[in-house]
Amino acid sequence: MTALFSPLALGGMELPNRIAVSPMAQYSSAPDGCAGDWHLVHLGQLSYSGAGLVMTEATAVEPDGRGSLQCLGLYGDAQEQALGRVVDFCRQWGGARLGVQLSHTGRKGSVRLPWAGRGPLPVQEGGWHVEAPSALAADDGGPVPAELDEGGLRRIGQAFVSAARRAVRVGFDVVELHAAHGYLLHQFLSPLSNRRDDGYGGDAERRMRFPLEVAQAVRDAVPSDRAMGVRISASDWAEGGFGLDDAVAFAGALKSIGCDYVCVSSGGLVGHQQIRVVPEYQVPFASEVRRRTGMATRAVGMIALAQQADAIVRSGRADFVALGRAMLDDPRWGWHAAEVLGAAVAYPQPYARAASAAWPGARLVRPGAA
């Protein structure tokens, strides 16, 4: 058996293989945070892609935690029911485990859709006033957020717990917190966005306090037969920002409160970041976090080939990998990776005749197909 197609235990559950579909914002078909037909088709087809785990896009824990007016949420009965419809479909037809990424955008929220310019969305057009650890704009000239007080912190912490409980009722196998990409929990962690002088700002330990409080409360709300993880950042790619040593310390603290894994990403906090994007550019971060903490890690970032993904897992640089745009490009990526690596994956019965063993045409479109 190849490393990539071996099972992976996370907490009290098991993934059938080491391939995950990354959370990918869709900015589509989610009025008031409610998943629509787009999500049914998007996540439905990925549930039978051959991946062992399919993650939803970042899913807001309160309305003002969304990125745009069309971003997913899980903060009320309507949102729970709409997302439950998608989960039920994926369960019926797909073989992947299902995960939800809970998020709050903080100062990066209330924006226009990417294809409409992605600028700030004014209140008169349905936008909202954003909040953050400190009154610091994400970009030069951008809206200055209101600094969260202790009441606001309690409200958001409770929203994360409520969303986690809804996720459990919906039937997700994995609940993941988004503490990367410049969203609210990451904003607390980084000295570039957190200039507070109370117990939630200052040195690294105090900057970690709110994210860890949220993580502990969510861990308490997620039963032991589900997995709970956190997407973290390992670099702000900007001078004076959150870095690898900070990520190792944060991951170690998450491990101590019972988190089952971390997904190690980077960037997204400030507009002046300087990122050199090359194949596997974030994998060394995951490898170092894994080496220094012993925690299960998921690697991301320009992983597109089956051989790449298998080598990352086989060499011990990460326990599993997540693919985003590679899956958008080829929603059957897992099937085709299994062909390349000589592994087997389950096909839904209506599609079984497209497997290379049953369809000679596979060797016409993919000459290396077994």
pLDDT, tens digit, 9 for 90 and up, residues 150-171: 999 999 999 999 999 999 999 9
Structure tokens at 48: 């039978």
- Which of 198, 176, 177, 180 shows the shortest CA–CA distance to 189? 180
Q: Report residue 140's pLDDT band, with 50, 70 and 90 as the boundaries.
A: confident
Structure confidence by residue, pLDDT tens digits, 233-272: 999 999 999 999 999 999 999 999 999 999 999 999 998 9
2 domain residue, yes or no: no
Which two structure tokens, joined as six digits, stand for 226? 């589900």
Task: Tell me if 42 is assigned to some domain.
Answer: yes
**Would you say 341 and 306 are in contact if contact means Cβ atoms under 8 Å apart?**
yes
Residue 311 lies in a domain: yes
pLDDT tens across 112-131, in order?
Answer: 999 998 899 999 999 999 99
> Are 221 and 263 spatial neighbours (Cβ–Cβ below 8 Å)?
no
| 183 in catalytic set | yes
Residue 250 lies in a domain: yes
Q: Which of 183, 200, 261, 347 is catalytic?
A: 183
Q: What's the CATH code of the domain at 38? A: 3.20.20.70
Residue 49: what residue type? Answer: S
Provide the whole-model pTM: 0.97
**Does 3 reside within a domain?**
no
Residue 370 lies in a domain: no
3-state secondary structure of 162: helix
Inside any domain, residue 55 = yes
Predicted pLDDT at 3: 98
Across the range 198-217, mean pLDDT stands at 98
Domain that holds residue 254: 8-365
Is there a domain that residue 44 lies in? yes
- What's the domain count of the chain? 1
